[in-house]
Structures are given as structure tokens and as C-alpha cells.
Amino acid sequence: MIVIGIDPHKSTHTATALDSATNTDLGSIRIDASITEYTRLIGWAKAWPDRRWAIENADGLGHHLALWLLAVGEVVLDIPTTATARVRELSRGGRRKNDRIDAAAAASVAALHGDARQVYPETVNDALALLDERRVNLSSSRTRTVNQLHALLRELMAGGAPTSLTPKKAAAAIRGFRARTAPDKIRLELAKELITDFARLDEQLAANSRKITGLLDEHGTHLRKIDGVGPVLAARILGRSGRASRFPTAAAYANYTGTAPVQIASADASHHRLSRFGDRQLNSAIYTIAMIQIRMPSSAGRAFYDKKIAEGKSPRTAARALKRHLATHLWRVMLADEKRKTRTEPQEVHTAA
């Protein structure tokens, strides 16, 4: 098996072929980031029919190349930058660094079956991740716009505008207002611009919600049946989790989400502390679900929380235990959805044919 490591950059990519058995450098090539050069790269790699590719940061600068290689039937692995850095440190002349060395380091990680993750073609989950990121940006822009509008309205009129502000309420508040000074005229003009932006952002958020709901229906996920999981949280969980099957166990998923406590042990002393690692946005989503379920008297989460309280746990510790429990449940639901979809896809293809 030959492993071809890739050190990607924005405009160029460097590939190094490595014999996985002897860790021997078999050659290197540097290409421009273009489809024509990708084809030249494949032509160069045909010298080793039994091959796979190891791309450093395949979700970043190597993303386009990784997807192109998948489209032509190649096997692609994603190598974290931290893993290639460790290989360079442990090798002779570890302080040296260039593109060829980085590409060889990525190949070494894959050859040693180290911290590598197989890359798969994009799915609905990736589309949901894009929509979720867009929604976060739109929500941030909306909050900033509303805050600026409130500040202007406080300066234009006594008491300002009500807290529950909408574009219609804001427009009604300044209707008939007559600016008497030059600064007030500018404030009024800016307020009108912000109201227009406010309405546009609300429309974009509504459109974003419709797209998310449509993709969730297409996915067929059962996450929305869980108490506290609406379309937005379901999209965030699916988008940031990716394929549930890439996590071998529920514990691995809990570690990824940062809901698994970290053990601190030395000699006979041992305790667990809160994890500050993992995907913090996923952790925040699971926290939101936990808080909603705790407030729902009839939910399974509230029953779990009450059980922990009865065992003598503090409310904070019981909530953390519920988050860990929810991470396991979410992973199992996503895994069941993935298996169900895998079983039905061949039948659908056969019917369509």
C-alpha cells in the first residue's frame, strides 16, 4: 500500500508518495490548485495502483481536492495538522519544515494508522452545517442591527422603543417624527436604514428556517421527536456531528461533544472534572436540550434529573449527568437513522431504475 500525503495551500498543493511498509519517500510533485493540475496529479499517482491519499486538513485548504479525489473513486483520509506536527517533532531534523516534509508527515500518520479519519462524499448533513453557520451569522447581524436601532431611538424620543421591537413597531415609532436638528436628521435617516436591514434579516432567517426544515424532511431524521429538539437544534447537531458511524462508541461521541467528564487520577486519589474540550457549539446545543427537558415535568430528561437529585447529586452535577445521557441518546438516534437510510437506499435506486 502506497500512501500519498498532501500538504495543501490556497494556490498550490504538494504531494509526497510514501511506502507504508518501509516509510520510504518514493517521490514528490507540486501542482497548482486547478482541475487541470488535479488530472496531472492523478496521472502521476497511477504509478502506484494500490494507493490511498492522506490530506492534511481535508476540511480546510484541502477540501476541494479531497472532494474531487472522492468523485474519481479514490480513498481519502483527513489528517489533523496537530498529528503532522507531532511526526515532524519525532523525526530526525524535526525543526525542518517545508511542503514536501509536511506532505510526507501526513502520509506517515496514515501509514501508521494514527490520528486519521476517512473522508466521505458530502451529504445532507453538510448542507445543514452550511445553513446552520449562515443562520448563526444572520442572527448575530440581526442582534447587532436591533441594538443599534434601539440606541438611535433612545436618542430620538423619550423612553426609546419597546423591548420587543419589530420592523413594523420601529417604523410606527418614527412615523410622523420631525427632526429639528442636523444630528436628529442623520439619526432618523440611519434609523430608517436599520429598519430596512431589520426586515431583510427577518426575511432571510425565515427563508433559512424553511430550507432547514425541507432538508430535515429529506434526511428523515428522528431527532425532532426528542423533547427540546426543534429544527434549528436538529440541524446543528446533524451538521456538526456528521456521520454518526464515524464514532465507534457513545463514549467517543460524548468526548467529541465535550459532555464526557475528564478523569483526574493519581495514586489512590481519583475524581472527575468538567471537560472544556470538544465541539463547544454541540455542547451548547445539548445544554439547551437538557435545560428544556428539566423544565418539562413529563419529559424523560426530567425523570433522569430527578433520579440524580434523589441520589444526592447537586442540581449542577445532575444537569451535567443529563447532558452526558443526552449525548448517548442523540448518537443512538443518529446511528439508527443512518442505518435505516443505508438499508432503504439500494431499494430506492432499484425502483428508480
Q: How many CB atoms lie within 10 A of CB 83?
A: 20
Q: What is the pLDDT of residue 349?
A: 37
Of 92, 76, 69, 82, nearest to 23 by C-alpha is 92
pLDDT at 238 > cutoff 80:
yes
pLDDT at 263 > cutoff 80:
no
- Tally the C-alpha atoms within 13 A of residue 174's C-alpha that lie toward its C-beta: 25
**What end-to-end distance do the CA atoms of the chain give, in Å?**
36
Global pTM? 0.84
CB 116 within 8 Å of CB 246: no
Confidence of residue 86 (pLDDT cuts 50, 70, 90): confident
Of 86, 88, 80, nearest to 104 by C-alpha is 88
- 3-state class (DSSP) for residue 2: strand
Q: How far apart are CA 7 and CA 205, in angstroms?
A: 38
CB 117 within 8 Å of CB 201: no
Higher-pLDDT residue of 268, 156: 156
Of 177, 178, 188, nearest to 149 by C-alpha is 188
Q: What is the pLDDT of residue 268?
A: 64
How much is the mean pLDDT over the chain? Answer: 89
Q: Average of pLDDT values for 79-108?
A: 74
Architecture of domain 2-118: 2-Layer Sandwich (3.30)
Q: What radius of gyration do the chain's Cα atoms show? A: 26
Q: What is the pLDDT of residue 351?
A: 32
Confidence of residue 225 (pLDDT cuts 50, 70, 90): very high
Q: How far apart are CA 135 and CA 126, in angstroms?
A: 14
pLDDT at 298 > cutoff 80:
yes
Q: What is the pLDDT of residue 102?
A: 80
Q: How many CB atoms lie within 10 A of CB 339?
A: 12
pLDDT at 188 > cutoff 70:
yes
Share of the chain above pLDDT 90, in %: 69
pLDDT at 87 > cutoff 80:
no
Of 119, 114, 45, nearest to 84 by C-alpha is 114
Q: What is the pLDDT of residue 176?
A: 81
Q: Average of pLDDT values for 13-36?
A: 90
pLDDT at 278 > cutoff 50:
yes
Cell 488535479 sits at which residue?
Answer: 38
pLDDT tens readout for residues 309-345: 999 999 999 999 999 999 999 999 999 999 998 777 6
Q: What DSSP string describes 244-298?
A: GGGSSSHHHHHHHHT-SPEEEEETTEEEEE----S-HHHHHHHHHHHHHHHT-TT
Q: How many CB atoms lie within 10 A of CB 48?
A: 16
- Tally the C-alpha atoms within 13 A of residue 293's C-alpha that lie toward its C-beta: 27
Q: How far apart are CA 13 and CA 33, in angstroms?
A: 6
Q: What is the pLDDT of residue 323?
A: 96
Q: How far apart are CA 155 and CA 330, in angstroms?
A: 48
Q: How far apart are CA 135 and CA 251, in angstroms?
A: 29
Q: Is residue 288 exposed (0-12), middle (13-18) or buried (19+ Cβ within 10 Å)?
A: middle
- 3-state class (DSSP) for residue 121: coil
pLDDT at 348 > cutoff 60:
no
Lookup: cell for 88:
515532524
Q: Average of pLDDT values for 196-209?
A: 97
